[in-house]
Every structure is written in structure tokens, then in C-alpha cells.
Amino acid sequence: MISHYLEQASTFARDIDNLILLITLTVGFWFLLAQFLFFGFILKFRAQDGKKAQYISGENKWEKRWVSLPHYATLFFDVLIIIAAIRVWQDVKMTLPQADSTVRVIAQQWAWTFVHPGPDNKLDTADDIRTVDELHVEVNKTYHFELQSRDVLHSFSVPVFRLKQDVIPGRTIKGWFKPTMTGGFDVQCTEICGIGHGIMAARVLIENAADHAAWVKANAPQVAAATPADNVPTGGSR
Amino acid sequence: MSSATADAGHGHHDQGFIKKYLWSTDHKVIGFQYLFTGMFMALIGGFTVYVFRMQLAFPGMSVPGFGRVTAHDYNSLVTTHGSVMIFWVAMPVLIAALGNYLIPLMIGCDDMVFPRINRLSYQLFLVSSLVLITSFFVDGGAFGGAWTAYPPLSAKAAYNLTPHGAPLWLVAVALEFVAFLLGGINFITTVMNSRAPGMKMFDVPIVVWMIVIASIVFMASVGPLVAGAVMLLFDQTVGTGFFDPSRGGDPVLWQHLFWFFGHPEVYVVLLPAMGIVAEIITVFSRKKLFAYKTVLYTAIGTGVLSFFVWAHHQFVAGIDPRMANIFSVTTLLISIPVAEMVFVYIATLYGGSIRLTTPMLWALAFIGEFLIGGVTGIFLGASGSDIYFHDTYFVVAHFHYTFFPIAFIGSFAAITYWFPKMFGKMLNETWGKVHFWGTIIAFNFIFIPLFLTGARGDHRRIYDYTHFPDLMKAGMQEMRVLATLALVVLLAFQVVFLVNFFYSLVKGKKAEQNPWKANTLEWVAASPPPHGNFPELPTVYRGPYEYSHPEAKDDYWPQNQPPQTA
């Protein structure tokens, strides 16, 4: 449903889309049934001359079934949706699969800084690659991200990954994703962060192994000048 | 107190007018004060949305009546729209205006038990409105950190760039809460103590019950937020660090305080609207309300459950992810009582004798449209799918399908239904229906496109999408333009309402005492009711919904009619 308009570019994008489809089908059915009865009654029971309305209190046992049957149906489908939702949630937010690489994402009014681990695949070393508003990742590799903010709340959102996580100053929030297709896609800030909120855009560039390696090689700082790691002042825990 | 000084300007010769309309303790006049203030604030809320929707449809244009919209303007407009529509339109019209006007009339007494607290409540509300309006004109402009005012953005002028707008916004909101606390005390006490002789708990009309339950929920939820507002005000003005992480504070704490109030608040305004609908569908289908007690218990159940769902606004806000599981469960469970209320209303229509008058059309539209708002909420209450939908236009469309039916469809239903009682004149039915269809059709053309843009990734509070290539794909901008055009049509149709309202007020056909042949006690009083309401206080013999009763000679059976005359 969503995938018709927006690529599924992470492993869990399909799970989230399927959950959305499941909810659409279950609540859609009940929604249509309710609207059908609702409009049906309005049409069928229009006032006619000399015809009195029925007197129904709704307090008798069989009349109460009008309410109790939908009650149990709602409960049943709620439980179904809860189970499906929590399964997806656990996969995306509560597990942290072994990472091939880790990137640091630093938000500030109103730009994204991405710290890539560089050739040694380790953060906080001299060969880290820092970019602004451009995140480079390799397809089919599992990434951990570390979210930090320099000022206010932001939210790291990559719609094609179906991923969203608020960024809180003073904390480092970890999560993961695994890109499944190459291409360039939007990164959004989805928490209002001041007047530049609307321009706080970035791109994630998912490259195949060769292209990514080439990008790393071309952009890695010259390690020869053994400068100490350039730690980012975030005002909080690291 | 400020209205005292404002009044002084009118001079002494007009004392009678002031005493009667501006300094009154009569519950009906206070209801009107709230109603007209709410209607005026709705014009502000409507104007702001017109300006920022025009910017979204035609980025960079000079909006007629406003001019070019800067990013700063855009944020202020969005913030003002949200705050005004909820705190200064839905609350005053649905709870304060209708609660004040209807409660004494519907329970058959002459006034609220604390009339002067009631007057103070409105005066505080008026001050809060004036403070909010003042904040538009101070240096730096109105607050632009969204109606949720998350710190640290809201806490520091260096971040939000509204050094005066932000504190004024907070003061206005806090004053507004105090006003409604005072009003709520009155509603609850009056209903518990001043019911007409013979009116038992289960003879109280549902709308009165709903306002009482809403007032209790409001009183129980608003405390933490008032405390939070004071803390945030201190952070802004005297440099404390309650929400500042660099000094040991926690910005997420505000979100808990805000939403612990903010989500019950949804039900605070929903329940009175549900009550209005119950009154109207019973009258115009000539049916007894299906399962009165079920409605009452589900309303209480909704009120109780509403205290346990707040963190579904914070699934991706950095709370412990395990907490999301608990709040997913509670959030989906609240669908049960709310769905039950809707089932009961649909069941009430069964076997009825339905007349599609203007108030009935509004009441039915509430059910039909609110259903859309209800079912789309499931996508957001389910934690897994909320990861994607959170802070997108899907959320915006969802809550407008709840709030628009509540604040506007519900209010229009109430105003068209009680107008004859309030002002002693009939509204014009034809123009009422023109207004209805124009509003309802346009409303759906605003928000169905926004469901679609939201599902495709449009995120909220963005003044110009051209920086996001994925959001500028074919069809996206067209939907934004469609929504904006529909909004302009919707706003244009409100002129029909205002003209009909004020024209009928002056020149409308005179209303009978009970034009709709309804059972509840307000229709026993004259139209409009004089000071003191009833010539002699009524006695109640039965419940409020005995329509088409086999033992009654008419298809209605007023609550105050003694049994032997039936």
C-alpha cells in the first residue's frame, strides 16, 4: 500500500507496510460495515406520515447484543492488531542486531552532521569522515546509528526505511537499520526545531560495495597527520 | 478584573447594559459570553490556517490579506491555529458555553450554584484570550514552537526567537486552564445538588452527564500541566533548568506532563460533543436512546482509560521502548468504549422516524465523520505503524477527523438545535442546509488528500516542501493545492453560517417554546428563558428520552409531564 508510492529500502520497511495493510483490512472492514448500517438506517427509517417510531430501550438482554457483539469483535481485532504491532516494534526498536558499521548522526538547528567511521570502520578515530546533510551507507550492511543533538529536540526520519527516532540533547540514542536497495533518498527532521525546521533536509545515499568503498577512499582524511579524534561537543554523554 | 477597567470606559449612563451583559452572573449570559468569544477566536483560528495553507499550496506567494509568509510566520501561524482551535474554540464553545447555558435549564434549576465563580471563570478566560492576542504583536512575534511547546525549543529564546511570545503564550494557556477549572467546579456541583425534584441520576440528559464527566477528567488531568507550565515559565524567564539537559533537567518530562493532560483533553471535548449528538438524534428520530446506561458507563470508562494512554504520543520520543508496548495496549483498548458509543448511536436510529433537519444532519455527520477519525487512530496507537506515521500529515488528517467533528460539527449541531431556545428565533433551514453541505463536502476534500500526502511521507510543520525531492514527486503538490482550495471553500461557507446566525437573530421567525417537540426540561422554559429560567421550577417524572412511548398520547413525553395526563 505505502510501497506503491514509496520504496521499501530497509529490512523492516516491509514489516511495517504489512502491519499497515493488516490494520487497513481489519478496521476497514468494520468501518465499512458500520457506515453501511448507518446510512442504511438513515435511508430506511425516514419519517413517514402516520408511522410512529418503535420504542426500544436497549436494556433487554437480546437488544444488548447490538452492543456486546461489536464489543467482543472490537476486542478480538484489537488484540490481533496489538500482537502484530508489538512484533514489529520489537524488531525495529527493541533489538539491536550485530552491526557491520556504526554511524553517528548529530542534529542541530538546522542541519545534520553525519560521522562515518572511515577506512578503519571505527568511530572517534582520525580517519572519520564527517559530512553535512549527506549520509553515505552501503547496501545490505547492518548499521547502528548514534543520535545526538546540539540544541533542541529533532527527529531523525528516513521515510524509505520507515524509520523515525527523536533526538534529545544530552543523550545518545541508538538504533539500527539495514538498507536493501541503492539510491538517494530524503532524510527529514520531523520534530519542530525552530524557524529552519522546514529546511532541515538531508539525503541518504545507499551505495553498492564498490561505490561505497570508492567514496570512503576518496573522502577519508589523510591519516598521516595523526591528529587526535575530533570529538563533537554535544553538551552531554558520549 | 481587567474587564472591570475595560467596562469603565463605557461611562456610567450604560450601567444597565453592563450589569446585564458584561458583569452578569446569569448562567445564560455567561454561556453567551463564552459562545461569542469562542466564535470570535474561531475567526482567528480560521484566518491562521488560511494563511499557512496558502503558503503550502503556493510557496512564496503573497497571501491576500497577509503578505509573504516567512518561516518564522509559518511556525507562529501553525502554533496559533492549534492552540486557538483547541483551547479557545473547542473548550469555550463545547464545555463552557453549552455547559453554562444548558446545565441549569436541563436539570430544571434557576442558575449555577456558584454564580460569581462562574462570572470569574469567564473573566479569566477573557483575560487569557487577550493575553494570547497580545502575544501576536510583541517584539519577536507570536510563539512558534507548536501547540505542544516541547522544550528546549520552547524554553530558550535563543532557540525559538520569540522572547516575549513564548512566555505570553504560556501565561495565556495557564490562565485559560484556571478559567475552566472554575467552570468545571460549578458544573459538577450544580448537577450533583440542584437537580429538579424527581430527577434521579439516570434521568439526567446524556449531554449534561458528558459535560460533568468531561469536567472531572479535565480537573484530574490539568494539574500536572499547570505545574509543568509554571516550570517552563521559570525556565524561560528566570533561568531555571527543569527541562534543560545541560543542567540536569529533562526535556522529555515536559512531554509527559503535557500529554498526561493533552490526551484526556481529547476526551474532554469529545464527550460533550457525543452528548449533543445523543440529544439531537433521539429528538429527530423520535426514538428512546438505545441503552442509556451503556452510554453512561462507556463514557465513564473512556474517561478513566484516557488517563492511561498519553505516551502513545511519545513512542519515538526517546522513552523506554518497552513502555510503548503497554501504551499500545491501553490505546487500542480505548477504542472499545468509544466504538460502543458509536454503535449505540447507530442502533438508536433503528426503527426511528428520522427527520433530516439541519441539526440532525450535523449530528449524523458527526457520527459518519468521527468514525473515520476513530479508525485511523488505530494506525497511530499501534506502535509498529506509528514509527512511520508519527508526525506526518496522516496524523494531522486523523486528528482533524476527530477534532473537526467535535469542535465544529458538534458545535454547529448544538447551535442549530438550541438556537430557538437561546434567542427565541428560528434559524433559516434552507441556508442551514447550504452551510451544512458546503462545509461537510469541503471538509472531506481537505483531509482525504492530506491522509494521502501523509502516507507518502509529508511531515508536519514544514513551510515549504521543495527542499525534499521525495516529497515533490508527481501528484504531491496537486494534493496540497486541492486541500488548500477545499479549505478556502470551507471558510467561504462559514460566511453563510454567520449571516444566517445574525440575520435570524434579528429577523428570524419567532420560535415556539418547544419547536422540536423534545422531552428535556430546557424546552419547558420560555424561548428565550427569562432570568430565573422557569416560572415555577419543574418536577421530573421520567427519563429524558421517552419518545414514541406506547403509553404516551404523543410521540414525545416531556420529563415534567405528570403521568396521569398521559
Partners of A53 on chain B (C-beta within 8 Å) are: 285-287, 351-353, 547-548, 555
Name the CATH topology of A101-219: Immunoglobulin-like (2.60.40)
CB-based contact B75 A192, cutoff 8 Å: yes
Mean pLDDT, range A7-14, rounded to an integer? 96
Average model confidence (pLDDT) across chain A: 91
Residue B375 belongs to a domain:
yes
Partners of A1 on chain B (C-beta within 8 Å) are: 455
Nearest to A23 among B322, B346, B378 (CB): B378
pLDDT band at A233; cut points 50, 70, 90: very low
User: 3-class secondary structure for B453-496?
Assistant: HHHCCCECCCCCHHHCHHHHCCCHHHHHHHHHHHHHHHHHHHHH
Residue B46 belongs to a domain:
yes
pLDDT exceeds cutoff 70 at A234: no
Residue with cell 415555577: B536
C-alpha pair distances (Å), B308 with each of A5, A200, B333? 35, 34, 10
pLDDT exceeds cutoff 70 at A228: no
For residues B102 and B410, what is the distance between their CA atoms, to the nearest angstrom? Answer: 15
Residue B3 belongs to a domain:
no
Residue of B nearest to A160 (CA): B457
CB-based contact A70 B144, cutoff 8 Å: no
Chain A: give the shortest CA distance to residue B494, in Å.
26
Residue of B nearest to A87 (CA): B384
3-state secondary structure at position A74: helix
- What stretches in chain B show pLDDT beneath 70? 1-15, 565-566
Chain B: give the shortest CA distance to residue A46, in Å.
4
Number of domains in chain B: 1
Residue B552 belongs to a domain:
yes
CB-based contact B159 A82, cutoff 8 Å: no
Q: What is the pLDDT of residue A223?
A: 63
Interface mutation vs chain A, best among B296, B316, B340, B360, most A CBs within 10 Å? B316
Q: What is the pLDDT of residue B322?
A: 93
Complex ipTM value: 0.92
Chain B: give the shortest CA distance to residue A64, in Å.
8
Domain region containing B541: 24-565
pLDDT digits (tens, 9 = 90+) for B404-428: 999 999 999 999 999 999 999 999 9
Q: What is the pLDDT of residue B373?
A: 96
Q: Which CATH number characterizes residue B426's domain? A: 1.20.210.10
Instruction: Please report, for chain A, the start and end positions of each structural domain, with discontinuous segments joined by +.
Output: 2-45+55-94, 101-219
Residue of B nearest to A53 (CA): B352
pLDDT digits (tens, 9 = 90+) for B315-326: 999 999 999 999
Interface mutation vs chain B, best among A152, A158, A200, most B CBs within 10 Å? A152
Partners of A151 on chain B (C-beta within 8 Å) are: 152, 159
Chain B: give the shortest CA distance to residue A222, in Å.
33
For residues A185 and B468, what is the distance between their CA atoms, to the nearest angstrom? Answer: 9
Nearest to B351 among A30, A54, A198 (CB): A54
CB-based contact A89 B384, cutoff 8 Å: yes
Buried b (16+ CB within 10 A) or exposed e, A3-17: eebbbbbbbbbebbb
Interface mutation vs chain A, best among B376, B459, B480, most A CBs within 10 Å? B459
- Return the number of other C-beta atoms located less than 10 Å from residue B169's C-beta: 27
pLDDT exceeds cutoff 90 at A210: yes
Q: What is the pLDDT of residue B142?
A: 96
Nearest to B71 among A34, A169, A195 (CB): A195
pLDDT digits (tens, 9 = 90+) for A188-203: 999 999 999 999 999 9
Q: pTM for the complete prediction?
A: 0.94
Q: How far is CA B422 from the centre of its chain?
A: 20
The DSSP result for B96-130, as a single string, is IIHHHHHHHHHHT-SS-S-HHHHHHHHHHHHHHHH
Nearest to A6 among B75, B333, B456 (CB): B456
Residue B16 belongs to a domain:
no
Nearest to B459 among A190, A195, A196 (CB): A190
Chain B: give the shortest CA distance to residue A19, in Å.
7
Partners of B343 on chain A (C-beta within 8 Å) are: 34, 66-67, 70-71
CB-based contact B286 A30, cutoff 8 Å: no
DSSP-derived secondary structure letter, A224: T
Q: Are B241 and B248 in contact (CB under 8 A)?
A: yes
* Beta bridge pairs of residue A187: A202
CB-based contact B160 A157, cutoff 8 Å: no
Q: Which three cell numbers stand for residue B403?
A: 477534532
Residue B60 belongs to a domain:
yes
Q: What is the pLDDT of residue A64?
A: 84
Mean pLDDT, range A23-37, rounded to an integer? 95
Partners of A194 on chain B (C-beta within 8 Å) are: 75, 144-145, 153, 159-161
Most distant CA pair in chain B, distance: 76
Q: What is the pLDDT of residue B565?
A: 52
Report chain B's C-alpha Rg in angstroms.
23
Mean pLDDT, range A207-222, rounded to an integer? 94
Closest to B274 in 3D by CA, of B341, B212, B365 = B341
Q: What is the pLDDT of residue B39?
A: 97
Q: Are B334 and B388 in contact (CB under 8 A)?
A: no
Partners of B152 on chain A (C-beta within 8 Å) are: 151-153, 169
pLDDT exceeds cutoff 50 at A160: yes
For residues B379 and A20, what is the distance between their CA atoms, to the nearest angstrom? Answer: 7
Q: What is the pLDDT of residue B15?
A: 53
Residue B4 belongs to a domain:
no
Nearest to A201 among B160, B315, B468 (CB): B468
A vs B: CB pairs below 8 A: 295
Closest to B529 in 3D by CA, of B105, B186, B196, B204 = B105
Partners of A94 on chain B (C-beta within 8 Å) are: 321-322
DSSP-derived secondary structure letter, A127: T
Q: Which three cell numbers stand for residue B483?
A: 486541500
Residue of B nearest to A147 (CA): B318
Q: What is the pLDDT of residue B8?
A: 40
Report chain A's C-alpha Rg in angstroms.
26
